[in-house]
């Protein structure tokens, strides 16, 4: 083993892991193409990955995970804080003693006969004051190759770390892939992550949700910054000025599509552009100018493949055309390419499905790709990647947007009255399960700031941290809520979404610049219909009214749901948010009285 660092904090920790896991060989990952190519060849020779058609997909590979190992497992994910209250009511908790003891037993000798790879990586541009360093120790070449796409890896990271002890210690081992012994343990107070018995990206690429959200949210709480489940995008106007927004959406609410949005033609002709800074995670810090600045700590996209096509998300699809890894999609045996549902209208007849079985897309009734099949692609491939993507400074935020999938409750867009009210809006964020087929409107799932599965500490303390951050800013971003998913009485969406969401972003930025007024309502400030540009849209006045209408009864119902959710979080919910809830109730009841009068 040739060490790439003399940092004793790192070497002592590595020695402990080597003693516990007992690998046959140890390899430090230096990040060189030469070393990565050797690993690619080795993984192809063992069948861990498969090379795709190098003319059509240069540098791309195919990977398959086991049938019971295809998604993040929230019931197997634990926050192991010393005090159970620090994990809070919304996280699974184990004591560090129990988790370390269980982990040591599972990891004991688990790498015998295997090579251990040590990956130094940076979340965020290497050397930026926003960035943080981690190590992932793994026995999977798939993990090495994926971390090379998703993060910045290798010697340059070690050079920045020097002798510091400020790094996150990540250990992943495939072990026997036993689902009954599959765990993802997070030790926020120790800057440590242990993941075992999984080979699926979401559980094993430890820089992603594990570090960039669960551990980093705790670090941010202690150090005075924020780690959020948010996309970051820049909107350039015809004069060439770019304004930035960050947005948080629960899953299945169009986050990646918004991050890589293509404006409608009438805007493109005028010179408007959208630039992607990030599609999933934002780290936010207050700088000397009193504004909130954001970086995307990741270097790649870990996107859901099914449904991604030239029409739904051209930019995401283009990102996958070189140096990408595809997991659990259809493999086309005729030309060594990939396919998934809604990729195009021409599924392969001679393919292998995501489990490796022969699959004929013209005849099979079964889906070929797993619904959670993925692409791992370098962000720099994206046609609309921002010129600020590698900026160590990050970008200043004009607005923060929350959004959920609500059939009747939330209007197309509204603005919070101030930062405190905005935190309330984020803390009550909800989405409805899509149960239209069974005739149910859908079950409301609360997902505050879209962070429910990813907050590394007590959710009530997390809300308090948001409120404290607001007090420290002299020039805070304005906070908004959007809903692209309003339906009519037949259950059909009344807003087209996709590129047309740009029209809402335009109104949001006008509000940030105080260029338009808004209507004060019980829930916040709504647009005047004439201030949203509906030009070249086939949309009736009645539909516009429906998009911007507030149904007081459904809000009164929602208010009860918020009360129940706050009760679940418990006594850590800040008093200011309880006051906001009372204000909402009071405002709604007053408007009911007005209607009756």
Q: Is 210 a catalytic residue?
A: no
pLDDT tier at 253, thresholds 50, 70, 90? confident
Helix, strand, coil percentages in the chain from 3-state DSSP, rounded to 5: 35, 25, 40
Q: Measure CA of the first residue to CA of the last residue in the chain; give whole Å.
A: 81
Binding site as annotated, residues for Mn(2+): 209, 229, 280
User: pLDDT band at residue 440, thresholds of 50, 70 and 90?
Assistant: low
Domains and CATH numbers, the chain: 8-30+71-223 (3.40.449.10), 228-296+389-596 (3.90.228.20), 300-381 (2.170.8.10)
**Kind of pairing between the strands at 325-327 and 374-378:** antiparallel
pLDDT of residue 240: 98
**CA–CA separation, 517 vs 392, rounded Å?**
36
CA–CA distance, 464 with 420 (Å, rounded to integer): 10
Chain-centroid distance of CA 194 in Å reads: 20
pLDDT on residue 436: 41
Query: Cα dihedral angle (491, 492, 498, 499), rounded to 10 degrees?
Result: -140
Residue with more model confidence, 147 or 593: 147
pLDDT of residue 252: 79
Cβ atoms of residues 110 and 183 within 8 Å:
no
Which residues are CB-contacts of 422 (< 8 A; sequence separation ≥ 6)? 400, 416, 470, 478, 479
Pairing of strands 49-51, 61-63: antiparallel
Chain segment 183-194, per-residue pLDDT in tens: 999 999 999 999
Q: What is the DSSP code (8-state) at residue 450?
A: G
Is the predicted pLDDT of residue 356 greater than 50, yes or no? Answer: yes
DSSP codes joined into one string, 374-386: EEEEEGGG-TTB-
What lies within 8 Å, CB to CB, of 10 at 6+ separation is 135, 161, 167
Q: Count CB-CB contacts under 10 A for residue 499.
A: 16
Of the chain, the percentage scoring pLDDT greater than 70 comes to 98
Contact 152, 53 (CB under 8 A): no
313 — pLDDT class (breaks 50, 70, 90) = very high
Instruction: Answer whether 522's CB lies under 8 Å from 555's CB.
Output: yes
Paired residues of 171 in beta bridges: 137, 194
DSSP 208: I
Q: How far is CA 410 from CA 270, 402, 455, 498, in A?
A: 31, 11, 25, 18
Of 403, 398, 402, the C-alpha closest to 511 is: 398
What pLDDT, in 10s, does the model give residues 475-517? 999 999 999 999 998 989 999 999 999 999 999 999 999 999 9
Across the chain, mean pLDDT equals 96
CA distances to 20, 21, 477 from 15, rounded to whole Å, are 9, 10, 46
Look at 5-9, 230-234, 249-253, 276-280 and tell me which has the smallest mean pLDDT.
249-253
- Whether pLDDT at 441 is above 70: no
pLDDT at 583 over 60: yes
Q: Which of 110, 253, 382, 455 is catalytic?
A: 253
Cα 163 from Cα 12, distance rounded (Å): 12
pLDDT band at 143 (very low <50, low <70, confident <90, very high): very high
Residue recorded with tokens 């060189």? 32
Label residue 594 by pLDDT band (50, 70, 90): confident
Number of C-alpha atoms within 13 angstroms, CB side, residue 473? 25
Q: List pLDDT tens digits, range 90-108.
A: 999 999 999 999 999 999 9
Q: In whole angstroms, what separates CA 162 from the centre of its chain?
A: 30
DSSP count for the chain of H helices, then E strands: 17, 30
Q: Residues 6 or more apart from 83 whose CB is under 8 A from it?
A: none
* pLDDT given at position 596: 55
Cβ neighbours of residue 414 closer than 8 Å, sequence gap 6 or more: 480, 481, 521, 523, 524, 525, 526
> Which residues contribute to the annotated binding site?
72, 200-202, 209, 229, 251-257, 280, 372-374, 405, 498-501
- What does the alpha-carbon distance between residue 119 and residue 153 come to, in Å, rounded to a whole number? 7
Tokens matching residue 418: 């101030």
Please list, residue by residue across 466-488, b when 16 or more beta carbons sit within 10 angstroms of its beta carbon and e when fewer do: bbebbeeeeebbbbbbbbbbbbe
**What pLDDT, in 10s, does the model give residues 413-439?**
999 999 999 999 999 999 997 644 344
Across 134-157, average pLDDT = 98
């Amino acid at each position: 083993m040739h060490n790439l660092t003399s940092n004793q904090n790192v070497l002592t920790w590595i020695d402990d892991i080597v003693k516990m896991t007992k690998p046959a060989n140890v390899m430090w990952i230096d990040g060189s193409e030469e070393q990565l190519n050797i690993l690619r060849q080795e993984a192809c020779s063992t069948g861990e990955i498969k090379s795709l058609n190098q003319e059509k997909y240069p540098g791309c590979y195919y990977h398959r995970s086991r049938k019971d190992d295809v998604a993040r497992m929230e019931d197997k994910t634990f926050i192991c804080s010393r005090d159970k209250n620090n994990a809070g009511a919304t996280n699974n908790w184990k004591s560090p003693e129990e988790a370390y003891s269980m982990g040591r037993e599972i990891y004991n000798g688990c790498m015998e006969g295997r090579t251990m790879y040590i990956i130094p990586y940076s979340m965020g541009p290497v050397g930026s004051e926003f960035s943080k360093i981690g190590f992932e120790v793994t026995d999977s070449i798939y993990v090495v190759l994926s971390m090379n796409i998703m993060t910045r890896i290798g010697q340059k990271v070690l050079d920045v770390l020097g002798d510091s002890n400020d790094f996150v210690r990540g250990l992943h081992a495939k072990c026997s892939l036993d689902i009954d012994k599959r765990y993802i343990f997070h030790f926020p107070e120790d800057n440590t992550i242990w993941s075992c018995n999984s080979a699926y990206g979401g559980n094993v690429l430890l820089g992603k949700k594990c570090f960039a959200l669960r551990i980093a949210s705790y670090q941010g709480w202690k150090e005075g910054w924020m780690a959020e489940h948010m996309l970051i995008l820049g909107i350039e106007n015809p004069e060439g000025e770019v304004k930035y927004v960050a947005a948080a959406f629960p899953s299945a609410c169009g986050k990646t599509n918004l991050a890589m949005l293509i404006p409608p033609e009438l805007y493109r002709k005028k010179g408007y552009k959208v630039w992607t800074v990030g599609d999933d995670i934002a780290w936010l810090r207050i700088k000397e100018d009193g504004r909130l600045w954001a970086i995307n700590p990741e270097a790649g996209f870990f996107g859901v493949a099914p449904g991604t096509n030239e029409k739904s998300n051209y930019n995401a699809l283009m990102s996958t055309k070189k140096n990408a890894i595809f997991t659990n999609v259809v493999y086309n045996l005729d030309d060594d390419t990939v396919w998934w549902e809604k990729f195009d209208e021409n599924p392969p007849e001679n393919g292998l499905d995501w489990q490796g079985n022969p699959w004929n897309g013209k005849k099979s009734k079964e889906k070929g790709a797993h619904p959670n099949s993925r692409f791992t692609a370098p962000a720099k491939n994206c046609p609309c990647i921002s010129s600020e993507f590698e900026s160590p400074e990050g970008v200043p935020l004009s607005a923060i947007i929350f959004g959920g999938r609500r059939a009747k409750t939330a209007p197309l867009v509204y603005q919070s009255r101030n930062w405190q009210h905005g935190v309330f809006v984020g803390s009550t964020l909800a989405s409805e399960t899509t149960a239209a087929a069974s005739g149910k409107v859908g079950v409301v799932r609360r997902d505050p700031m879209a962070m429910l599965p990813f907050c590394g500490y007590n959710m009530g303390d997390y809300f308090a941290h948001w409120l404290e951050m607001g007090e420290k800013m002299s020039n805070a971003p304005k906070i908004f809520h959007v809903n692209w998913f309003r339906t009519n009485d037949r259950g059909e969406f009344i807003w087209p979404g996709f590129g047309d969401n740009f029209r809402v972003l335009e109104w949001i930025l006008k509000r940030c610049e105080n260029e338009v007024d808004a209507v004060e309502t019980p829930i916040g400030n709504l647009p005047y219909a004439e201030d949203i540009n509906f030009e070249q849209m086939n949309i009736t006045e009645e539909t516009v009214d429906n998009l911007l209408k507030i149904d007081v009864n459904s809000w009164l119902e929602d208010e009860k749901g918020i009360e129940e959710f706050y009760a679940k979080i418990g006594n850590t919910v800040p008093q200011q948010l309880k006051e906001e809830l009372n204000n909402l109730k009071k405002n709604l009841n007053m408007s009911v009285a007005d209607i009756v009068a």
